[in-house]
Every structure is written in structure tokens, then in C-alpha cells.
Structure 1
Amino acid sequence: MDLNLAGKTALITGSSDGIGLAVAKGLAAEGVRVLINGRHTEKVEAAIADIGDAAAPAVGDVASVEGLDAVLGAVEAAGGVDILINNAGTGSNETIMEAPDEKWQQYWDLHVMAAVRLARGVVPYMEARGGGVVLNNASICAVQPLWYEPIYNVTKAALMMFSRTLATELVGRNIRVNCINPGLVQTPDWVNTAKELTRDTGGDWQGYLQGVADEYAPIKRFSSPEELADFFVFLCSDRASYSIGSTYFVDGGMKLTV
């Protein structure tokens, strides 16, 4: 299937590893020039070396105004982008009663305001090119929360609503906005967490992850980042031209409601 993506340029936040890196590789394989974002120069450079000539750096912490300005500088240097994928994010661990305001603000800036500010920064480039695509990576936790990460649940729910609202605002400018809510994806964060939790009990981190999959996912396994990336790549393409303002669950049957 020809996705008609060759020659386009994409910015993928949080793309030095995990889901973001898999999406960047998937787009690069379709002939897209990819701007690799992360907070650490060495990780970004390693990802670029992995991808090859199709990749360029966009180093900066998108949760901060200063870091985001640096990323938008890379967008300007690239002549703009056709695709924006807001992927940067991380899980949390707290209770509502005990989490301080500062932690709420940190996650709000990372999961919501980064997407808001990047949209303001890149939409003019998309308009000048005749259109574009914005994809926001939220989470199944936006609608089916896990008890131990209330801040993550709330900010991902806000990102999902932001996606729907932005889609309405931009549809007349030929810019498609959609949201993806993944379930269990075996990212480096999940692996590191599993190794930490099993360090003193034999180190069977694979068994720990299998237990999580058995409990939450009817498919009884985690997705690979590459499986999820294929869905992102498709939604970036003209083959998904009628998909606007939607939220797609890629969760192995994890969501329990219709």
C-alpha cells in the first residue's frame, strides 16, 4: 500500500527511544524526514545514527518553554513540518491526597501544554504547505484509569480532549488531528520498572510483565513499539484522510467499555 508519505517532514517528540523512536523509524522507512526529539543530546544522536540520513536532531525538553523554543528552532531550520506527533510523556506514581502542586504542574506541562505550544508553533508551517497531520499519543488510562497514577490519568484525559477540540479548529485548514490511546506497550520504561521490582526476588522481569499482561490485556501480551508505530504511520498518511477528531484504542482488548 502506497502511503504517499515520501518527501514529508515530521517532528516526533520523545523519539530518542521507545514508542517515539519506533514511529520515527516507521516514518523514515516511508521516505519521511524525521526530527528526533529528546532532552539528552547523546540519546538523540544515537537514535539518529540508528535511523540514518533521514533523521535530524531537535533537542529540547518540551515541558519547558526554553526547551520547546529550541525544538521549534529545529523545525524552522528544517523549513517546517507536515506531521507533528506529540509523544513525549511518562507514567506517574502518587496519591491525590499527597501529590504536591509542583508534580501536577510538571505533568500538565509535559502532557498537555507541550502539545498546545507545539500546535501553535507548527500549524503555520502546515498551513503554508497546504495541510498536515497532528497525532497525540495519550493512553487507555485517559478513560480507564489505573489507581496508582492519578496525575497521569488526568493529564492524558486532558490531552485526549485537547485533540478533539483542536481537530474541530483545524479541519477547515486541511489539518487532521487524531488521538491514539495505547494499552500495554513494552517500552524501555516498562522493562526498567519490571527489573527494579524483581531485583530482590530473582530478577524474572519477563515473568512480571507477563503477569501484568495476563491481568489487564485479553490478548495476554504487551504490544511491541513497532506494532503501535504501524498504526501511527497509517494515520499520518492520505489513506486515513477521513479520520478527523477521533480517538483510537490500540490496547489488545484492554478497554472494558464500548
Structure 2
Amino acid sequence: MQPSIQKRTSRSILTKGSGFLNGYSHTLNPYAGCAFGCSYCYVRRMPIALFREEDWGEWVDIKENAVDLVKKEIPKARKKGEVSIFMSSSTDPYQPIEFKTDLTRGLLKAMVEEMPDFLFLQTRSPLVTRDIDLLKKFGKKVLVSMTVETDLDSVRKIFAPSAPPIAGRLKALQTLRENGIPVQAAVAPLLPCSEHFPKKLAEVTDRLTLDDFFMGDGSGGKRTEQLGIRKLFEEAGLEDWYQRKAYLKIKKRLQAFFPDSAIYISQEGFSPPEEGEYK
């Protein structure tokens, strides 16, 4: 089912960072809504989704004046201090409509001219590789974080059937890294995976963050419970994975392939890197 698409004029595009993302001066969402419609997305329980008549995943609003706004708002924000941007906190900047709009690409072009002090680019789409030419211009002022919550596409189809296949995401990470762009894999939220998952990640990235429903949904797992995710685990016979300590088993496996300094847990993996982390 294709989502309904609407164009909107926004009053502003940079939102003050807060809560889970309080390490950033601002968040930036080029779209409202997300066609990937992942079953576990915490945004489903936020006002932007709760007060729409359409279900999450069935609508996308294009912030058509976003590029003009960011050109004005970054210089203004810089007068108050460093500008660190998390893109995006409640949508995917590379969801399917981006193929047509080039809105995220336009924002990157604008930010090359009005460079923030740091840009964290969160996505689960291989389309991000389209913009390698622009991402290179950020140097070490960017980190592309690719969501890879499992290595099993059969599991991905249970929880996020409209999201890009896992193989494409792993390939995108590899391509970005080969082009000198800082990357991390975001195993967030952790879904059931194979024992080979850590090795697959080590082949495409030097850094990852590990998160689950209990640490990362902003409410200690309450939002996830309200979404009925436990039932999906139970129906698939995967209920052993739906527990607070499941991530520790995967962390131990990851430590066989990554140094502890490369494994971040929950919020720390989504925070701006410390100065000197990238050499």
C-alpha cells in the first residue's frame, strides 16, 4: 500500500534537542511520517502519530520549504553556540519518497554551505549511498548510523516488512566506509539474530551501538508494550528474545569481534562522538 503524500509549509526546521537526544543542539526531520512503518517505532506513541486519522506508515508529509529554512536557521543558531544536528529523530530521511523529492540531498547541499559542527545521520535505507559525494565534504563532522537490528531477513519481515532488506543495509555500510565516511551500525532495537551477526557487522563497520526496547523507547519499555510487540515475539516463537537481559548475550558475542571501545550501549551510541574519537 502506497502512503498518502502531502506537501506542507513548515514554520521552522530545526528543533531544540531534548530528552534522549539532549546531547544535540537540534534535531532535523525533513519529513513527518515514515513509509517504512516499523511495528516497534516509538513515534507511533507520540502525538504526531496518535492524532492522525491514518495509521503510522500510511502517510508522509513533505516539508517542502525545509532547505530554505535550514539555510536561515543554522547561521541564526550558530550565534548561540555550536550547532550539532541529529537527522532524523522521528522519520527516515531516506524513505522511498526521497527518490522523487531529493529533499534530504538538498538539505545536505545546504549544510555543506552552512556547515554544522556535527551531523548525525540516522537511516535504515541504502539510498544514503547516493549522497556519498556530499557526505565526503563533511569530513569528520558527520556520522552515518545505519539501523541493522538483525541479520535475518525472515525476522525483519515480521517486525518491519516495509523496511529495506538487511543485505542492502550491510552493503551500504561497507560502501560508505570504503569511501572514508564515518559509519556505525545501530543494532537498535535488537531483534532475534543468528550467531553469525557479529562477524557480518565486523566486516562492514568499526563501530556499533546496541539498544533494545527497554533502554531505547524512551519509557523503559512501556511504549513498546502499548504497541503489542510482545505478541509479535510470542506468535513467532521468539519470546526468549523479549527480555531485558537479551542484549547482554549479543554484547558478549560482539566482543569477540569488536573492542569494548567500539561497542556503545543505547543512548551513548547516539550521542555526538567525543572530540578526537575519529582520527
Same fold (TM over 0.5): no
Of structures 1 and 2, the one scoring higher in RCO (CA 8 A, sep 6+) is 1
Larger helix fraction of residues: 1
TM-score after normalising by structure 2:
0.42
TM-score after normalising by structure 1:
0.45
